[in-house]
Amino acid sequence: MLFQDAPIRKKLMAIVLGTSGIVLLLTCASFLAYEVFTFRQAAVQQLSTLGEIIAANSTGVLAFENQEDATDILAALKADHHIVSACLYDRQGRLLARYPSGAPDGSFPASPGADGYHFEAGRLVGFAPVAQVKGHRLGTLYLESDMAALYDRLRLYGAIAALVVAGSSLAAYTLSRRLQHQISRPILALADAAKAVSDRRDYSVRARKFGEDELGLLTEAFNQMLGQIEEQNLALRKAYDDLRLTQQASMQQERLRALGQMASGVAHDINNAISPALLYIESLLGREPNLSARARTELTTIQRAIDDVGQTVSRLRAFYRQREPQLVLAPVDLNQMVDQVVELTRARWGDMARQHGLIVGMNLELEPDLPAIMGMENEIREALTNLIFNSIDAMPQGGAISWRTSLTDRPAPEKSGSRRLACVEISDMGVGMDEETRRRCLEPFFTTKGERGTGLGLAMVYGVVRRHDAEIEIESEHGAGTKIRLLFPLPAVPVRVPPPPEAAPLVPIPRRVLVVDDDPVLLKSLAETLQDDGHEIVSADGGQAAIDAFIAAKAAGRPFAAVITDLGMPHVDGRQVAAAVKAASPGTPVFMLTGWGQGMAAEGDIPPNVDRMLTKPPKLRQLREALASA
């Protein structure tokens, strides 16, 4: 088709101009046809009237066959310059007089024809009877008129019609040019939107709506359709992202789990090994006022070193642990945490850095109205410490570290809308991370620091984040510094951080205590340390021995005030000891000492019959507190 591929604007113009042109032409044509028809009628009428007048005047000249007068009468026809020729025939049909007078015979019919007028070869010709009164025929008048008048008029009308067609076409063109916008604009807008969608796959495009007509409805329906596709697209992308994240998270979990199992086994052995040393030192430092200053310093150093080992072990396990359901979270003030961590690490970023000629600035911008969150202070403190160390490591030339706390909104998972989170943000001006590092930095043992790093720092941070139902956001670019945000959920009901308790010295009340552990060195150290506090200690080196001792003592009327037992022992373990003790004497408190401590709950292994868990290596203060509560 001719117009099939033409733009809609052209099509509309062609339709409007074509239609109006054809209508105009038809109008003009019928007008002209009517004009020709009426003109011919009028011409016949006119010529026959003229014929009648001439015929009436010619009766005399024909009756007497006066040729001269007849020629004079015909000469009057000169007044009508459309009359080409005329003649009078006598009764016998002979040519009597002619007009113009000098015209040759051949210009006239040889004899008169039938009365009446007719058109012939573009001319109007006719014969009229010349009759006396009472119908006596004297001769015939012949008249011939040209049609120049008609052609003149037709030419004029033609010119007018052409002008009208041209003028109205121009008007139609101008008008339709303006009016076709009404139709073409919404269609073009739709076409543009559709093209943008198909070119860029951008479903956020919307076509502009120009009115409430059918095109408006079409635009609206089109936009709605786009909206639905966009929503579905977003949902699809979100589902995909969620799936990817879940997959990543579960892979990470899997790694962490394997590693954690190994770590907790190692932790158990190391804890048992260092516990006696720690207890003896703590006890020595407390009991022996006569220690030399040097001995005291050395003991303190050993104590700190062992503490460090304990911390390393717990750090190893920190990223693996699940949150124990029974573990009570306490209100934590994140601002306070930042303050503490900045103070605790001052040696590293202040003095030590200065010794190496570095200046590390520390800027704090803390939101004063930040609500407290529910969490585990020690874990959060450790996580923030890791972050600060990483930032210091990332700035070998020195620089500034900024801390910021704030209340932030983030889209709520699953539900629509957003949720408020307490945010701690640390940013540095350090070397930043490349894409690969940024993606993998949370993985345990991923480090770019070679021998200097264990790669456990951020994995531990991640473990803490997970246990707090928090989120971690890492923004970093190679060479452009790093920004890490931890976002903690706010408790449904606002909480307050209680003031720190007064650390009143515990004065031990002497009690009779049964201590159980299969590790002889640990058992001995425990017993001796507690004896120094004035307690009467009975040691049992296994579960069965402990149960026997407990029952025997009760029978002898010298029951124990409390039992401290290890968990993991061969044959009869701590759980069985606790059960037996409670069966014999439900009121006697049982304290369980274990390196697994917090890890146990994760394995669904919370021992019943236990009053309090004590972690290994045991702290004298912890033991004293437990016994004081017995």
Ligand X SMILES: Nc1ncnc2c1ncn2[C@@H]1O[C@H](COP(=O)(O)OP(=O)(O)OP(=O)(O)O)[C@@H](O)[C@H]1O
437 binds, among Mg ion, ligand X, none (CB under 5 to 8 A by kind): ligand X
Q: Which is nearer to ligand X, 228 or 312 (CB)?
A: 312
391 binds, among Mg ion, ligand X, none (CB under 5 to 8 A by kind): ligand X
CB of 426 to ligand X, least distance (A): 8
CB of 439 to Mg ion, least distance (A): 16
522 binds, among Mg ion, ligand X, none (CB under 5 to 8 A by kind): none
Q: What secondary structure letter does DSSP report for 349?
A: I
Q: Which is nearer to Mg ion, 70 or 486 (CB)?
A: 486
Q: Which residues bind ligand X (CB under 6 A)?
A: 386, 390-391, 394, 428, 430-433, 437, 441, 446-449, 453-459, 482
Q: Which is nearer to Mg ion, 43 or 441 (CB)?
A: 441
13 binds, among Mg ion, ligand X, none (CB under 5 to 8 A by kind): none
Q: Which is nearer to Mg ion, 450 or 501 (CB)?
A: 450
Q: Which residues bind Mg ion (CB under 5 A)?
A: 390, 457
In the numeric block, the tokens 């407390």 are attached to 286
CB of 414 to ligand X, least distance (A): 29
CB of 492 to ligand X, least distance (A): 33
| Residue 624 phi, psi dihedral angles, 5° rounding | -65, -45
Task: Please tell me whether residue 101 adopts helix, strand or coil conformation.
Answer: coil
CB of 279 to ligand X, least distance (A): 29
Q: Which is nearer to Mg ion, 37 or 445 (CB)?
A: 445
Helices (H), 288-376: 293-318, 334-344, 346, 352-355
CB of 257 to ligand X, least distance (A): 18
CB of 399 to ligand X, least distance (A): 11
449 binds, among ligand X, Mg ion, none (CB under 5 to 8 A by kind): ligand X
424 binds, among Mg ion, ligand X, none (CB under 5 to 8 A by kind): none
Quick one: tokens of 463?
């473990």
609 binds, among Mg ion, ligand X, none (CB under 5 to 8 A by kind): none
Q: How far is CA 610 from CA 328, 543, 615, in A?
A: 16, 15, 13
Q: Around 438, how many Cα atoms within 13 Å sit in the side-chain half-sphere? A: 17
Neighbours of 538 (CB within 10 A): 18
CB of 455 to Mg ion, least distance (A): 8
What's the CA gap between 84 and 82, in Å, rounded?
Answer: 6
Contact 385, 424 (CB under 8 A): no
Identity of the amino acid at 341: V
Count of residues making up the chain: 630
Q: What is the largest CA-CA distance in the chain?
A: 190
- β-pairing, 536-540 vs 512-516, is parallel
Contact 82, 148 (CB under 8 A): yes
Contact 544, 536 (CB under 8 A): no
Quick one: tokens of 205?
């495009």
3-class SS letters over 391-419: HHHCCCCCEEEEEEEEEEEEECCCCCCEE
Q: Which is nearer to Mg ion, 335 or 390 (CB)?
A: 390
406 binds, among Mg ion, ligand X, none (CB under 5 to 8 A by kind): none
Query: What is the Cα 157 distance to its own chain's centre?
Result: 69
CB of 432 to ligand X, least distance (A): 6
446 binds, among Mg ion, ligand X, none (CB under 5 to 8 A by kind): ligand X
Q: Which is nearer to ligand X, 432 or 543 (CB)?
A: 432
Quick one: tokens of 292?
């030399």
Q: How far is CA 427 from CA 106, 340, 353, 388, in A?
A: 123, 17, 18, 9
Q: Which is nearer to Mg ion, 219 or 390 (CB)?
A: 390
CB of 390 to Mg ion, least distance (A): 4
Q: What is the chain's alpha carbon radius of gyration, rounded to the nearest angstrom?
A: 59
CB of 248 to ligand X, least distance (A): 16
Query: What is the Cα 24 distance to its own chain's centre?
Result: 57
Using alpha carbons only, give the angle 588, 580, 326 rounded to the nearest 5 degrees: 70
Q: Which is nearer to ligand X, 391 or 525 (CB)?
A: 391
Spatial neighbors of 593 by CB under 8 A, at least 6 apart, are 517, 564, 565, 566, 567, 614, 615, 616, 618
Q: Which is nearer to ligand X, 316 or 577 (CB)?
A: 316
Quick one: tokens of 571?
């044959």
441 binds, among ligand X, Mg ion, none (CB under 5 to 8 A by kind): ligand X
Q: Which is nearer to Mg ion, 457 or 589 (CB)?
A: 457
Q: How many helices (H) and strands (E) does the chain have?
A: 16, 17
219 binds, among ligand X, Mg ion, none (CB under 5 to 8 A by kind): none
Q: Which is nearer to ligand X, 433 or 626 (CB)?
A: 433
CB of 427 to ligand X, least distance (A): 9
Among all residues, whose Cβ is closest to ligand X? 457
Using alpha carbons only, give the angle 597, 603, 608 rounded to the nearest 5 degrees: 65
Identity of the amino acid at 428: D
564 binds, among ligand X, Mg ion, none (CB under 5 to 8 A by kind): none
Quick one: tokens of 140?
């015939």
Residue 432, by phi and psi: left (phi above 0), alpha (psi -120 to 50) or beta?
left
